[in-house]
Structure 1
Amino acid sequence: MTTPNIELLTAATPNGQKISIFLEELGIPYKTTAIDLSKDEQKSASFLKVNPNGRIPAIVDHSRGSYPVFESGAIFLYLVEHYDKDFQFSFQDSDERMDMIQWLFFQNAGVGPMQGQANHFVRYAPEKIDYGTKRYKNETKRLYSVLEARLQDRDYLAGKGRGKYSIADITTFTWVRWAPWAGIEMTKFPKLKKWCEEIEERDAVKRGLLVPSGEDQIEKLRRNPDVQDPFKAWVRKGQKEIADTHGN
């Protein structure tokens, strides 16, 4: 196997944390380049060479010709292909692998986008819009109910039997853990809550949650429900720029 030399370009968001957690789980060397979202570093020319969409996370594999990968789902699959040869966090069996990929896409196409919109309407919309708030919180809850049903007789999302801890769990865990940020209570999802709490106890997960700043916003929220929101100014600035650009 190629000796890893991974650079992770990231910030302390659910999408950023999922990749730092996986790199910690893999136990391979990597260096972190913190991307300051408040300074629009994700829009810099150097970052856009790695990810033309201007979003974190992204990686550059310097051990493979400085190959860049963006989109968190693609990063997971890339790291699995090249650095999980023993299938510790993935599956050799084709059906189990497809099972894993389906749940990976379920998070990327469902939980992340819907919960992200719930975050926006709960925390960042400059005016209170009940329809948007209810729409996206309810859709996030519906997706959580799918996860809750999946975990009724299982320990993990993918794999035969009771399943195996895999990238399907890591990618979903970081978003479910941020549920309170979107004003979503976990009391109606006891299996999902237990699954999330058990994953959070893993040593690699604890380390990955502190990348890149050494701080964890959800832990801060647990200590202080009125914790300062580090993303508000950045999100609202971005929305204003979009409106100005498109004349709205």
Structure 2
Amino acid sequence: MIDLYTWTTPNGRKVSILLEELGIEYKSIGIDLSKGAQHQPEFIAVSPNGKIPAVHDYASGQSIMESGAIMLWIAEREGRFLGAPEDRPHVLEWLMWQMSAQGPALGRIHQFAKYGNPLGEPAETNFRKEGARLYQVLDDRLQDRDYVVGAGRGTYTIVDMAIWPWVSRFEWHQTDLSKYPSVSRWYKSLAKRPAVQRGYDQPHFVNEIPLP
């Protein structure tokens, strides 16, 4: 049994999608970021950085924060969704790409689009250019592939689960996915997976999965 501390954000949905794909029993605990629940002492005890997602695993007694670390830990423990042994370097490189490049850049665009831009127009322009560049990087990678990592057409891994929730906010990015046909095809294919649909709705339903 795992307690998943999460909210309706791309980073939160990464982990709930993985748990749903694995069929692991878990309890989804909503941490309402708009009310500052992430700063409460009981959550800080689980996630010292005060960020979602975080998990507490009853079997081991461990609490773990940071979405990428959680996904790697669970996938390694279960021995699934890591691809073939020779895929491991590429699982790591694309997971790090998501965490260090895609997530931060698109997250900043979310901030500009939804809550205003305190940094000024040049900063917004630069982040939007970087967001477009990252979409193109992913589109290039997915040409003639069904999944980001793996030989041939690829294999479904935690990399796809980590990247997909950020693409699901393409409307927030004011991004036309028709400009990135390989990303659009991949995105719509994953959106049909029942586990992705269930994971998207954690810790509660907000909206249907957006489709281009």
**Alignment partner of 1:48 is 2:44:** yes
Which string of whole-angstrom CA distances, capped at 9 and with x for unpartnered residues, describes residues 182-241 of structure 1?
22221210110110010000000111111111223754xx7xxxxxxxxxxxxxxxxxxx
- SS in structure 2 opposite 1:110? helix
Sequence identity percentage: 40
* TM superposition shift of 1:166: 0.6
Equivalent runs, 1:172-187 vs 2, <5 Å = 172-187=163-178
**Alignment partner of 1:195 is 2:180:** no
Q: Which residue of structure 2 aligns with residue 143 of structure 1?
A: 134
Q: Which residue of structure 1 aligns with residue 93 of structure 2?
A: 102
Query: Out of 120, 143, 164, which is 1:152 matched to?
Result: 143
Contact 1:12 1:212 in 2 (8 A): yes
Paired letter, 2:40: S
**Stretch deviating more after TM superposition (31-40 or 165-174):** 31-40
Paired letter, 2:93: Q
Contact 2:55 2:65 in 1 (8 A): yes
Q: Which residue of structure 1 aligns with residue 82 of structure 2?
A: 90
Q: Which residue of structure 2 aligns with residue 78 of structure 1?
A: 73
Structure 2 spans left out of the alignment, 5+ residues? none
**Structure 1 residues 128, 217: closer, same or farther in 2, change over 3 A?**
farther
Equivalent runs, 1:109-148 vs 2, <5 Å = 109-125=100-116, 129-148=120-139
Paired letter, 2:28: T
- SS in structure 1 opposite 2:4? strand
**RMSD of aligned Cα (Å):** 1.6
Partners of 1:128 and 1:9 lie apart in 2 by 31
**Alignment partner of 1:37 is 2:33:** yes
- SS in structure 2 opposite 1:81? helix
Contact 1:12 1:216 in 2 (8 A): no
Equivalent runs, 1:159-174 vs 2, <5 Å = 159-174=150-165
Paired letter, 1:162: R
Partners of 2:177 and 2:199 lie apart in 1 by 23
Partners of 1:156 and 1:132 lie apart in 2 by 32
Structure 1 spans left out of the alignment, 5+ residues? 223-248
- SS in structure 2 opposite 1:182? coil
**Stretch deviating more after TM superposition (6-15 or 154-163):** 154-163
Paired letter, 2:70: I
Paired letter, 2:7: A
TM-score, normalised by the number of residues in structure 1: 0.81
Partners of 2:66 and 2:164 lie apart in 1 by 17
TM-score, normalised by the number of residues in structure 2: 0.94
Partners of 1:127 and 1:99 lie apart in 2 by 36
Contact 1:176 1:196 in 2 (8 A): yes
Query: Out of 52, 56, 63, which is 1:60 matched to?
Result: 56
Q: Bigger radius of gyration, 1 or 2?
A: 1
- SS in structure 2 opposite 1:50? coil
Partners of 1:187 and 1:48 lie apart in 2 by 41
Partners of 1:39 and 1:144 lie apart in 2 by 32
Count of residues paired in the alignment:
211
